[in-house]
Amino acid sequence: MTANPIFRGAATALITPLTASGVDYDRFGKLIDWQIAQGIDALVIAGTTGEGSTLTDEEHRAVLKYAVERAAGRTPIIAGTGSNDTDYAISLTKFACDIGADAMLVVTPYYNKATQKGLIQMYTAIADASTKPLILYNVPSRTGVGIEPATYAALADHPMIAAIKEANGNISKIMETAALVGDKLDIYSGNDDQVTPILSAGGAGVISVLSNLMPRQTSEMCHRWFDGDIAGSLKMQLDYLPLINALFCEVNPIPVKAAMAAMGWCENYLRLPLTPMEPEHAEKLYALMRAHGLI
């Protein structure tokens, strides 16, 4: 873990409450306040879970600005600024820096993909344009391209590249990355079912979908580990595993939107190509939520 991590513990990959008319800022603001009151360690705005890919450019910038202003320094705000268009990613990153975001989450380029050489050049260009630290986001199941451990090592010395959100699902590769980058980059789990395995490799926490529903508990799972309660942290990981699996039984953020709607935080409204959760899956999710006292 680096000496000065962007955050330590759990960051919520926050949903964006939407209606047919646009962003529901009233609910969005109340959700930000609740997450902070629950002790969340950071918030990620307009990432995958926040449906950043179907927000208009105007909406994307507006939700970032609103979240920074609403949080008012109470917790770090990490702006989703990745794109498969590097110039656009640079533009969003500069904007997020200017409005006071604390860090950027920058996903690998989807659809047009890239070679490892292309990834190095892209991330270097975005980092060169940024005045705030970047978290590189590796989720090859969604983007079609993965960041190799040697590529992380090649980027690790850039002063604005600070961390990794690793969602490749391959613990062996994550261990290889940890061995190569040492304390130059923090590693955050990008999968809620792999928090404790990545913490065991020296990880700094998780960027979480589960913490939309359970911010206090997800943070506690990490901080128990940091405090030496390994068994307690692992028990939480295993106890929440059925709920975590239910939150990913359809493509994210379909299930978490259904869950947050059931808790009253938003309408169960998604923009195409996303569609509401299938009823039989939703019933299983709601049953697990009831078992944890969430609804």
For each of the chain's 295 residues, which pLDDT tens digit applies? Answer: 888 899 999 999 999 999 999 999 999 999 999 999 999 999 999 999 999 999 999 999 999 999 999 999 999 999 999 999 999 999 999 999 999 999 999 999 999 999 999 999 999 999 999 999 999 999 999 999 999 999 999 999 999 999 999 999 999 999 999 999 999 999 999 999 999 999 999 999 999 999 999 999 999 999 999 999 999 999 999 999 999 999 999 999 999 999 999 999 999 999 999 999 999 999 999 999 999 999 9
Q: What was the pLDDT predicted at 42?
A: 98
Q: Is 137 a catalytic residue?
A: yes
State the catalytic residue, choosing from 123, 137, 188, 240. 137
Q: Where do the structural domains in the chain lie, given as residue ranges?
A: 9-227
As given in the structure block, the two tokens for residue 201 are: 């490799």
Length of the chain: 295
Q: What was the pLDDT predicted at 213?
A: 98
In single-letter form, the type of residue at position 227 comes to D
CATH 3.30.1360.30 fits 9-227, yes or no: no
Is pTM, for the whole model, over 0.95? yes
Q: How many CB atoms lie within 10 A of CB 228?
A: 9
Rama region for 202: left / alpha / beta (φ>0; ψ in -120 to 50; rest): left
Of 266, 264, 268, the residue nearest 295 (C-alpha)? 264
State the catalytic residue, choosing from 123, 165, 240, 257. 165
Q: What was the pLDDT predicted at 3?
A: 81
